Chain A
Amino acid sequence: MTVELAILLAVAVPFAGAVLIPLTGAKPNLRETVTLVCAALLFYLVSVIYPIVAAGGVPEVYLFEMLPGLSVFFLVEPLGLIFAGIASFLWIATSVYSIGYMRGHNEENQTRFYAYFAIALGAAMGVAFAGNMLTLFIFYEVLTLSTFPLVAHSGTDEAKRAGRVYLGVLLGTSIGFQLLAIIWTWSLTGTLDFTDGGILAGKADGLTAGILLALYIFGIGKAALMPFHRWLPAAMVAPTPVSALLHAVAVVKAGVFTVVKVVVYIFGIDFLFDIGVSEWLQYMAAATILIASLVAMTKDNLKARLAYSTVSQLSYVILGAMLVTDLGIIGSGMHIAMHAFGKITLFFCAGAFMVAAHKTEISQMRGIGHAMPFTTLAFFIGSLSVIGLPPMGGLWSKWYLALGTLETGKLWLLGVLMVSSLLNVAYLLPIPFRGFFSSPEENPPLKSSHNHDSEHDHTHDQDRPKGIKEAPVACLIAIGVTSAGCLVLFFYPDPVYDLMRQIVAP
C-alpha cells in the first residue's frame, strides 16, 4: 500500500464506518464489530504512515481545488502523526470500553451514537492530516457538528442546554474569530499552506500579527482557553466514552493541536519570537492553568472535576506553544500525547464507577476501592500521569515544558507549572486514597443529586453485600490498556519525542 493511499483511507475509513453502522444497526453485535474493525484498520493505516514520516518524509495527497488558488489537501508531518496515532489507538480502546459501558448503562439510540462517533474520528483524522488551514478548518467544523449529537445524546433538557452552550461557544469562536483570522491570513499572504518557518513573516507587521494571533488562539475554541472554556464542562452530560475519547482526546487535542500548528507553520517560531506578541497569551494560559485547577477542586461531580482539569491541562499545551522556544514546542507536542493517555484513563474509571457502583459524586466514593480495586488502582495511575510524577509518561511533557520556561528565563512561569502540579495532587489523589483507605459508611448522606441513577440506586446501594463488583469486562480491558500506556510512555517516550524533535529542528 502506498502511503498516499494510506492517508486517504485513514480519513475515509471512519466515514465509511459511519455509513455501515446504521446499516447494521439492527444487529448490535455486528454493529460493534464494524466499529472495532474500523478502529483497528485505522490504527493499522496510521502505523503504515509512521515509518515514512519518522524517516523525515512529508507525504502529500491532493484532493481538489475549492476556491481558485486554494485547495484542499492532506500533508502528514510529525505533529499530525502524533495526534493521529493517539486518536486512532485510543479509538480502539474506547470502542471496547463503549461496548461495555453503553450496554451496561442501557443507553438509547446506540446506533446513532456509534455512527457520529465514527464521523468525529474521521474529522479528527482530517484535522491531523490537513495540509493547509482551510482543510483543517473544514474538518474542525465537521468535528464540532458531528459531536453535537453525542453531547445532546440523552435528549433531556439538561443535555439540550449543554448542547446549546457547546455549539454556541465552538461555532461562535470558530466563525467569529478563527474564520476571520484565516481569511485575513489568506488576503495578506495569498496562501494558507502549512509551511516550515511560517507564512506570515515579512507579510504582517507586529501589530497585525498580534491581533491575528489572538484571533487564532481564541478562535480555536476547542483549546478551551479561558474565557471560552465553558463548553467543555457542559459537554460532560454526554455518555462517558464521549467524554473520554472526544472531550479528553480527539476534540480538545484537535484544538491545542491546531494552536501548535498555527504557531509553528503559520506564524513560524522565529517570527513570533522576534515580534514578541505572544507574551500576554502566556499570561492568559497561565491564568487558565491556575484558575481551572482551583475550580476543579471545588467540583464534587467527578466528571466535572476532570473537565476542569482538562481545561487546565490544555493550557499547558497553549503555554508551551506561546513560549515560542524549541523546548516549549516539544513539551507541547508531548503533552498532547501524555495527557491523552492519563486523562482517558481517568474518564474510563469515572464511567466505570458510574456503571458498576452508580456513583458520580466524589463525596460518595469513599471506600470504593474495596468494591472496585482494579478501577481505583487505574485511577491512581492516571492521576500520577496527569500530575506528572514518575513512573508515568506525564513526567516527560512537564519536564520539557519546564525546560522551555527556563529557556525563556521566566521563572514565574516555572512557578505556575509547579503550583499547578501541586493543585493537581490536591484534587486528584484524594479520590483513590479515600477509595482505598476509607470505608463506605463514612459517605455523607446524599443531598440533592441531579443524577437519577444515584438517586434510585442509593437505597439498595447501602445494603449491598460487600465484595468485588467491577465494571463490565470490556470496560476493564480498556482501562487496563490505557493505564498501561501511561507506564509504557514513561519508559519509552522516544517515538513522540523524536517526532517533535523533527518539527523544531528539521
Chain B
Amino acid sequence: MSKKAIVSLLILSMIAVACATEEAVEEVAVEEEHDHSDESTLDMVLERGFVKCGVSGSATAFSETGADGSITGFDADYCYAVAAALFGDYSKVEFKSLTSAERFTSLAAGDIDVLIRNTTWTQSRDTELGNDFGPTTYFDGQQLMGRNSDGISSSSTLADIDGLSVCTNAGTTTEKNITEGAGLVGATITLVTVEKFSEAMDKFIAGECDIVTTDGSALVGRRAVNDALNDWSIFPQSPISKEPLGPVYRSNDSKWGDVINWVVYATIIADEYGVTSANVDSVDTDALPELGRLFGANDGELQSVMGLDKKAFYNVIKQIGNYDEIYSRNLNPVGLFREGGANDRWTNGGLIYAPPAR
C-alpha cells in the first residue's frame, strides 16, 4: 500500500465514524418520538417497568453515592419505596443525579418521573414551575453554627451575631434568609459566600469566619462528624426559615401524585402502629382494620382503584420499612434524631402526620 492508500483509508474511516454517530442519533430519535403527553405518568412507568427517580447523589444522608456507585439515603429510600409499591421489587429504580439548577427542568422535560432531592416546598415552585409537591418527608430549617469559645451557645439569637463574619454557600435561599434575618434584628454581619457548603465549613474550621449557616440537618451532621458537640453550638432554637422537604412531580397528574403521596403516608401510618419490616408479617389485621385495608389483607380495593397491586403498601413496609426505620437508618448515623424535633410523630408533638387509610 502506498501513502495515498493510507490517506484515503483514513478519510473513508472518518466518514464511517460520522455515519455511525448519525445512526446512533437516529435510533434515539425514533425511540423518543413515541408521545406520552396525554398519558398518566403512572401508566407510563408501569409500562416501562422501572421508575426514574431524580436525586442529588451528593447530599449527605439524603441521597449519597457510595464507593460502589450505589445510591443510598433518606430520599433514595423513598425512591425505592415507590418502586416497591409499583412493582413489588424495590430495585426497579433508575436514579438520576441532578444538580439543584437542573432538577426542575429535568422533571418538566420528563427525564425523571419523580424528584425526591431534598427540595424545599415553596409557593413559587409549586405554582409557577408546573410542579406539585407531595407530603413533606423531612422538616428542615436554616440555622447557624458558631464556636462556644466565641461566646455562642445554643440559646443565642440572631442579634448575637452583630459584627461577626458569616460563611454561607451562594446562589441559594440561605444567603437571602441570613441577610434578611440579620437586617430585621439590626445586626451588621460580614457575609462570606462560597460555592459549596463544604467550602464554607473549611473556612469556618480554619477560622476565616465566625459563623456558618445552612440547613440545620447539615450543621448537625458536620458537628457530629467533627466531634465538636462541646465546641460548636447550633442556634437559634427555632430555625430562621422553614424548609419542608418532600417529593415533587409534574402538576395535573393526580393519578401519579396519589401513588407518591400514599407511599409516603403508608410509611407514616405503619410507623404510627409500630409496624416495621420485621413484624409486618405478624400484624393482626383483624384487630387493626386500617392496617388490613392498607396492606391489602382484605379485598385491597383501595389500592386497586389507585391502579396498584393490593399488596403494594405491604411491599413498601416489607422491603423498605416504615418512616421511623427509614429515618433511623439514614439520619441517625449523622447525628439527626427524631425525638422532640419537628420530625417526630404528631402524637409526640412533631409534625409527621398522615390522613387515615379508609
Verify that A and B bind, or say they do not. Answer: no
